[in-house]
Amino acid sequence: MSKSPEEEHPQKALGWAARDSSGVLSPFPFSRRENSNEDVTIKILYCGVCHSDLHSCKNDWGVSTYPLVPGHEIVGVVTKVGKAVTKFKVDDKVGVGVMVSSCKNCNCCKEDLENYCPKMIFTYNSINHDGTKTYGGYSDMIVVDQHYVLHFPDNLPLDAGAPLLCAGITVYSPMKYYGMTEAGKHLGVAGLGGLGHVAVKIGKAMGLKVTVISTSPKKESEAINRLGADSFLVSTDPAKLKAAMGTMDYIIDTVSAVHSLLPLLSLLKVNGKLITLGLPEKPLELPIFPLVLGRRLVGGSDVGGIKETQEMLEFCAKHNIVADIELIKMEQINTAMERLAKSDVRYRFVIDVSNSKL
Ligand code: NAP
Ligand code: ZN
């Protein structure tokens, strides 16, 4: 018989887990592997609440196994290093994002695209090399191979910086890869949530003109005055959409639910690019006419590799980019998840793990 999550490893850990697809989280005592030669043990201080955590808790994608401890926007401090660890020392401030391992041998791994390695191991809801489950950052500590750990820049706040580990890299990577960084070009950002609001800030830092495309008119003044967007388009207002048709060079689509791509494609210029990052539980319809007639492109992108994640952190440190956060205690996570489901967060919940009751 396999051992219980509390007994399978020597290091004791406390977290909060969803037990079934109701998604309700509750305290969960478990354990972490002993720190091996290549590992660092991290005391978790903060963890961002990504919409992927909500999708996973609710089993939106049909792949969740319970108990499920979410969390992949982790910031903490190193408490232990293995003998072969050269990248970090005890007391270093570090981050962990969406993955904790990969094969290190395939073409993707060799090209610093570990995020596309077929054997990549997710920070939670995955299976470790030793056959045990991975549990994420809604917990007090984690053990991670040094390769997948990031140096957290000194000048960034640990709490507001945490969301960069997923939201930050998820929007930064496609902007680089798809060539969406030419200063003066016009970027649309669909969905002003965790990913979207960081996309606005990174887009502005790259010198782009940024328009938010949102279903929430009440976010307009903040989008412009606080986040720095140049303009705001309510996607449910046909007249406004019509007036903006054919004006955008690129769109980053962060919408978490099933939605129509047609209005977004119509906003693009000829040769425009629509990059979809959201992961709704059902497929989207792809309108072919605006693609073909305008030589437009639809692409996707999944977080980013470790090297690029470090580069993104340095970029954000240089430009003072962090998330706008609502800091919560773990005890408030279920209410926070309910609000996240209603797009009612400004603009990322971050859990103050070390001051929470676990
Ligand atoms: P979020 O904070 O909930 O933001 C999503 C935004 O989408 C909402 O704030 C809302 O913005 C808009 N929205 C929600 N429901 C909508 C609907 N029915 N129609 C139109 N717009 C709607 O979520 P997030 O953490 O940014 O994540 C967004 C999506 O990206 C999720 O599906 C997540 O799983 C996925 N994700 C993907 C990657 C990747 O690597 N590709 C990484 C992380 C997350 P407005 O109020 O402005 O309309
Ligand atoms: Zn995420």
pLDDT of residue 1: 60
Is the CB–ligand 1 distance for residue 341 below 6 Å? no
Contact criterion met (CB below 8 Å) for 229 and 212: yes
Angle, nearest 10°, between helix axes 167-177 and 306-318?
100
Is the CB–ligand 1 distance for residue 117 below 6 Å? no
Q: Alpha carbon of 275 to those of 132, 173, 187: distances in Å?
A: 35, 11, 11
User: How far, in Å, is the centroid of ligand 2 from the Cα of 216?
Assistant: 22
| Angle, vertex CA 92, rays to CA 90 and CA 98, nearest 5 | 110
Is the CB–ligand 1 distance for residue 139 below 6 Å? no
| Angle, vertex CA 183, rays to CA 181 and CA 189, nearest 5 | 60
- How many residues are present in the chain? 358
Is the CB–ligand 1 distance for residue 56 below 6 Å? no
Torsion angle in degrees (nearest 10) through CA of 327, 347, 18, 21: 160
Q: Which two tokens stand for residue 241?
A: 């959409």
Q: Output helix, strand, coil percentages for the chain, rounded to the nearest 5.
A: 30, 25, 45
What tens digit of pLDDT does each residue of 190-211 get? 999 999 999 999 999 999 999 9
What tens digit of pLDDT does each residue of 55-81 get? 999 999 999 999 999 999 999 999 999
User: How far, in Å, is the centroid of ligand 1 from the Cα of 7?
Assistant: 37
User: How far, in Å, is the centroid of ligand 2 from the Cα of 164?
Assistant: 9
Per-residue pLDDT of the chain (358 residues; tens, 9 = 90+): 678 999 999 999 999 999 999 999 999 999 999 999 999 999 999 999 999 999 999 999 999 999 999 999 999 999 999 999 999 999 999 999 999 999 999 999 999 999 999 999 999 999 999 999 999 999 999 999 999 999 999 999 999 999 999 999 999 999 999 999 999 999 999 999 999 999 999 999 999 999 999 999 999 999 999 999 999 999 999 999 999 999 999 999 999 999 999 999 999 999 999 999 999 999 999 999 999 999 999 999 999 999 999 999 999 999 999 999 999 999 999 999 999 999 999 999 999 999 999 9
